[in-house]
Each structure stands twice: as structure tokens, then as C-alpha cells.
């Protein structure tokens, strides 16, 4: 039995996709799309924390083979990397994109064309990376692309720093949510990205995502995901991420069947060395402990580990 069609196709037929796109664009006039709630009129060229106006800024797009196993398949995940970010982690491995804004502003029609180009290249999904601040542009582009034949699953690949009110706009449109859950402790979120509210907001965001799409569903024939939530967790040195408590939350509040990628690739990037605790690489022992804590919480549906440790 073939997987169901992407959710946004039904939303297109019923007119919901058009209405959500219109709602999103209206929200840009006094923007509170992300938790920073800057309140600027992005349609008039004003910008807030995300430094993005009416047009989304795209750094790059390609068939990506380094994503999670259920997304990659034979032909890769069709990733679109949006520039800027409303979370602004000081250790971001894409610092030039997220902080410095490398990329170019494009119209909604151009974004739709990129989606279709990735699909025509054989990519199994459209993977929207750091999209929280460009949800309206994303919705407008999906509406255009769906009318022109887009029919692969949509992946919302985010930091977890999302407002539930914005996520509601995506209900019945996004197929796969792939949020991070970065930190459990408010003081760590404060020190790394000036967002002490991150842990609480991430909990609410992940609950909403799970309500919309449920556990990750993977086609038995192709091995590809077509719906559900996939949670990423980057293990930080010194136990700063609070792995054990995050995994207990996922198991108890979402599902013990939650698909999780416990990530080992932390290394000091960006401005990480300004914090002594983050100025060191992750050790193999720290990563092993994080995996043990994940399994102890009752979560055993883990992405195949790709351990990348570096000596500094």
C-alpha cells in the first residue's frame, strides 16, 4: 500500500492552503511569528531579530545526503537553507548563514521554482531548514508549487523555538516536523542564545507538532518517512543540553515511540569559545552517556549514529 499523498495537496483542494498563505502574509505587517515578537512591519521593509523583510533569504539548496536515514533514501533530501535565524545560538555550525545572513533574497515564485527543481532532481522531500521566521513566504511558495505539480512530503526543519500560534498555520500542510530540542535549562538557553524561554516554548511547540502529525511514519518498502515528528538533540559538552530530562519529556509527554537523532557532531563554532564550557569538543564518553540516558528514558527508536569527534 502506497503512502498517503502529502497533506498540503488536500489543503490546496479545499482552499485551506490559500487561506493560510494569506493569513501568513498578513502576519508580516506586525510580525510576531517567532517568540522574539518584534512587531515590525516586514512588508514595509522593517526587520527585527531575523533581519528578514518581505522576501525570504536563501543561502543554498541541494540534494542532501547527510540528513536522517528516513529522509535521505537513494536520491537525497531536497534541502533549502534559509538565511538568518531568530534563535541565534552562539555555537551555530552554520554561523555565516544564521548570524551573518549569507544568501540572497528571493520572491515567493522563485522559492516555488526551487521546490519543483529539487523534486524534478529526484529528491524524496522538500526539507525547509530554519523556516520559523519565513513561514508566510514558505506557505505562499508551497501554494504556488502545489498548483504546478509539487507532490513530495514537506519537512519543517527548525530549532524548536517556535510559537504554537504560528505552528497552527501549518496544521494540515506540513507532513514531517523535524525540530531540535536543544536545552532543558533556561540559564543555558539564556547564555547561548539570549532565550531563557526556549525550554518552555520548545515543550509547547513539540507537543503541538506531535498533535498535528503524530509519531514518525516510515514506508516499509522504501524506508522513507512520509509523516510524523523526528526530534534532533545535539549533545553538548559538560552535560549542558540536559539530555536526560529532555528525553524523559519526549517519552512521557510525546511518545516512547518518538524517533530521535542523538547528535554527536558538536564542535566549537561561531562564538562558542567565548564560553569556556563550550570551548571544547564533545568526547566519545559524553556522547555514549547521552545515548544511555535516552534509552533509560524508554526511547529506543534512534537514528543510525554518525559519530564525528574531533580533537582540538
Q: Nearest Cα to 261, choosing from 224, 295, 221, 234?
A: 234
| pLDDT score of 2 | 83
Whether the CB-CB separation of 186 and 196 falls below 8 Å is answered with yes
Q: Could you tell me whether strands 154-158 and 176-179 are parallel, antiparallel, or unpaired per DSSP bridges?
A: parallel
Neighbours of 37 (CB within 10 A): 14
Q: Could you tell me whether strands 217-218 and 104-106 are parallel, antiparallel, or unpaired per DSSP bridges?
A: unpaired
pLDDT for residue 306 is more than 90: no
In angstroms, the first-to-last Cα distance of the chain is 50
pLDDT digits (tens, 9 = 90+) for 193-222: 999 999 999 999 999 999 999 999 999 999
Secondary-structure percent of the chain, ordered helix, strand, coil, rounded to 5: 40, 15, 45
- DSSP for 166-228, written as a single string: HHHTTTTT-SEEEEB---SSHHHHHHHHS-TTHHHHHHHHHHHHHHHH-B-EE-TTT--EEEE
Topology given in CATH for the domain delimited by 7-33+58-296: TIM Barrel (3.20.20)
Query: Between the CA of residue 3 and those of 11, 228, 238, what are the distances in Å?
Result: 17, 13, 42
| pLDDT score of 101 | 83
State how far Cα 72 lies from the chain centre.
Answer: 16
Q: With cut-offs at 50, 70 and 90, classify the pLDDT of residue 312.
A: very low
| pLDDT score of 59 | 97
pLDDT for residue 309 is more than 80: no
Instruction: Say if residue 304 is exposed, middle or buried (CB neighbours under 10 Å; 0-12, 13-18, 19+).
Output: exposed
| % of the chain surpassing 90 pLDDT | 94
State how far Cα 225 lies from the chain centre.
Answer: 15
How many residues are recorded in the chain?
312
| pLDDT score of 99 | 86
State how far Cα 180 lies from the chain centre.
Answer: 7
pLDDT for residue 307 is more than 70: no
Rounded mean pLDDT, 228-235: 98
Residue 157: phi and psi, rounded to 5, are -105, 100
Rounded mean pLDDT, 256-272: 96
Q: What contacts 174, CB < 8 A, 6 or more positions away?
A: 7, 8, 154, 155, 156, 212, 213
Average pLDDT across the chain, whole number: 95
| pLDDT score of 304 | 83
Predicted TM-score (pTM) above 0.85: yes
pLDDT digits (tens, 9 = 90+) for 148-204: 999 999 999 999 999 999 999 999 999 999 999 999 999 999 999 999 999 999 999
Amino acid at each position: 500500500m502506497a503512502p498517503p499523498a502529502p497533506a498540503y495537496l488536500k489543503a490546496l483542494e479545499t482552499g485551506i492552503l490559500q487561506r493560510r498563505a494569506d493569513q501568513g502574509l498578513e502576519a508580516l505587517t506586525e510580525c510576531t511569528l517567532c517568540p522574539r515578537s518584534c512587531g515590525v512591519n516586514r512588508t514595509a521593509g522593517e526587520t527585527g531579530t531575523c533581519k528578514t523583510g518581505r522576501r525570504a533569504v536563501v543561502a543554498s539548496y541541494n540534494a542532501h545526503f547527510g540528513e536522517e536515514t528516513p529522509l535521505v533514501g537513494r536520491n537525497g533530501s531536497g534541502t533549502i537553507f534559509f538565511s538568518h535565524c531568530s534563535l541565534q545560538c552562539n555555537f551555530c555550525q552554520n554561523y555565516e548563514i544564521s548570524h551573518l545572513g549569507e544568501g540572497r533574497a528571493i520572491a515567493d515564485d522563485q522559492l516555488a521554482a526551487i521546490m519543483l527543481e529539487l523534486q524534478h532532481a529526484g529528491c524524496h522531500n522538500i526539507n525547509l531548514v530554519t523556516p520559523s521566521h519565513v513561514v508566510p513566504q514558505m506557505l505562499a511558495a508551497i501554494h504556488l508549487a502545489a498548483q504546478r505539480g509539487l507532490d513530495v512530503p514537506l519537512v519543517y526543519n527548525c530549532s524548536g523555538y517556535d510559537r504554537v500560534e504560528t505552528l497552527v498555520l501549518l496544521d494540515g500542510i506540513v507532513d514531517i516536523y523535524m525540530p531540535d530540542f536543544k536545552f532543558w535549562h533556561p540559564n543555558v538557553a539564556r547564555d547561548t542564545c539570549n532565550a531563557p524561554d526556549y525550554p518552555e516554548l520548545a515543550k509547547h511547540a513539540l507537543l503541538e507538532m506531535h498533535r498535528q502529525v503524530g509519531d514518525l511514519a516510515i514506508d516499509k518498502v522504501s524506508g522513507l518517512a512520509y509523516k510524523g515528528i523526528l526530534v534532533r538533540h545535539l549533545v553538548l559538552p559538560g552535560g549542558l543540553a540536559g539530555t536526560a530530562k529532555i528525553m524523559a519529556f519526549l517519552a512521557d509527554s510525546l511518545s516512547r515511540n518518538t524517533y530521535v537523532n542523538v547528535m554527536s557532531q558538536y564542535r566549537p563554532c561561531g562564538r562558542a569559545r567565548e564560553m569556556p564550557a563550550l570551548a571544547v569538543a564533545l568526547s566519545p564518553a559524553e556522547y555514549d552517556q547521552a545515548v544511555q540516558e535516552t534509552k533509560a528514558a524508554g526511547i529506543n527508536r534512534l537514528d543510525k549514529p554518525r559519530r564525528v569527534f574531533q580533537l582540538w
